[in-house]
Amino acid sequence: MKRRNFIEKSVVGTAAISLGAASLPFASNVNGANDKIVLALIGSGSRGTGTIINTCKINANVVIKTICDVNDVKAAKAINSVEKELGYKPLRSHNMKEVFNDKDIDAVWISTPEHWHALATVWACQAGKDVYVEKNPTVSIWEGRKMVEAAKKYNRIVQVGFQNRSAPYAFSAREYIKSGKLGQIVHVKSYNMLGGSKWMMQPDAPVPQGLDWDQWLGPAPFVPYNPAIHDMQERGGWGNFWAYSGGHMADDASHVLDLARMVLGDPGHPKSIYGWGGNNAWGSNREVPEIQTVTYDFEKFALTCVSGNATNYMKKTPQNIRMDPTLFPDWRTNATRTEIYGTEGLMYLGRHGGGWQVKGEDSRLIEQGGGIFPDADHQKDFINALRTRKSPNGDVEQAHLSASLIHFGNIAYRVGNKQLNFDAENEKFIGNDAANKLVRKSYRENYKMPDKV
């Protein structure tokens, strides 16, 4: 099968139906630039299903062998989508370890809830699989370091779904700042100011038919099934709980902060962090705050992030602007912008499209760079990394540092809206035992992250 397309779409359309997935040539043989790459999807929600299918469409000789999910409803939807869009029917698995043990599979596409990202990535690396894992890659600082260690130890490609790292306009913004045209950076503001409403918990309920609840919980503590946490059809409300997520900060703010770090030249961990937050906008009873503000001390400048679901008048960049490099958003009410203040100008930077603009005195436009949603760029970069073994744009090392910004802010909030000093070398807080207890999470039996990966 080397140096040849998998099967022409016209052939697959009939072959897959008559022969079944088991008859399709899924054997792994990634040896060169055009050789076949076999993927498996772990966690088959709409985001994961859509991105892995598009990856196969825009890259030659890339196929999906297996859909793995503990939710029968979502797995069936994903299998039907693959068959409809790509012309063949992938296999079905209920347990990700079956996928890791499959010698045909070259790489896994992890699109589970966040609490599974790190452990699934480490297991995949240990099994010799390359990994694409969605953001936020972790729910604790410590497990991020384990992901980095596993990728290095097993010589694996681990690409994190921080798609802005493959955006051409992000590279041009970084070069503009590096050139010195913006002057000395004195302050940075990142925003994730989205809309929302009051959120309330629901009563526990029986586990729905077709769901393995124990496996869905995985490394998280066991709790009775609750429809406020999980939904058989949609994403569900797990993002409102610390056991499964970093809240609003981990959702969209992780993209914004990662992009800010990238264009600023990827600074390391901050020296200190101050966090404030609360549920004083709607009075929700979710665990994560409705609104929070975090200040990061990078010594030569401070970076602030305001995140939450309390500002319905703020909007993400409209889709038509995201897909048109000649258009720019109204920055004043753009919910996910970054403002970079230099001594020579102010750069506005969009997330997932929107490009960048530099303004000077009296709002005079100094320079700009248009850009579009970089999903396809990131997907191409991942496949190229598998074939060339070069580090991907969204490498796990930088992703860990960006994800840690989320954890810093959340930990500062959870220990009482405190200022925290951080030992970057040892990845520990200085003089705060309560904060250090949150650097690492606990894991259930059979789902433990190993100390030595």
Instruction: Report the C-alpha gap between 451 and 429 in whole angstroms.
Output: 19
Report the side by side order of strands in the sheet with 62-68: 91-93, 62-68, 37-42, 107-110, 130-133, 158-160
Name residue, tokens 């002057």: 183
d(CA 377, CA 387): 16
Q: 303-330 pLDDT, tens per residue? A: 999 999 999 999 999 999 999 999 999 9
For residue 252, give Cα distances in angstroms to 45, 64, 130, 161, 215: 17, 28, 25, 12, 26
Mean pLDDT of 263-286: 96
| Among 309, 303, 379, 314, residue whose Cα is nearest residue 341 | 303
% pLDDT > 70, the chain: 92
Give the whole-angstrom CA distance, residue 401 versus residue 144.
Answer: 8
Q: How many CB atoms lie within 10 A of CB 226?
A: 16
d(CA 20, CA 31): 27
Task: Find out whether 169 and 321 touch, Cβ atoms under 8 Å.
Answer: no
431 pLDDT tier (thresholds 50, 70, 90): very high
Mean pLDDT over 65-94 rounds to 98
pTM to 2 decimals?
A: 0.93
Confidence check: pLDDT of 21 > 50: no
Domains and CATH numbers, the chain: 9-163+386-391 (3.40.50.720), 164-385+392-453 (3.30.360.10)
Query: Any residues with CB less than 8 A from the CB of 290 and at least 6 apart, and which?
Result: 196, 248, 277, 278, 279, 280, 281, 282, 284, 308, 309, 310
> How confident is the model at residue 175, as a pLDDT?
98
Assigned token pair, 388: 């060339």
> 418 with 275: CB under 8 angstroms?
yes
Q: Tell me the pLDDT tens digit for each residue of 203-258.
A: 999 999 999 999 999 999 999 999 999 999 999 999 999 999 999 999 999 999 99
Is residue 199 scored above 80 in pLDDT? yes
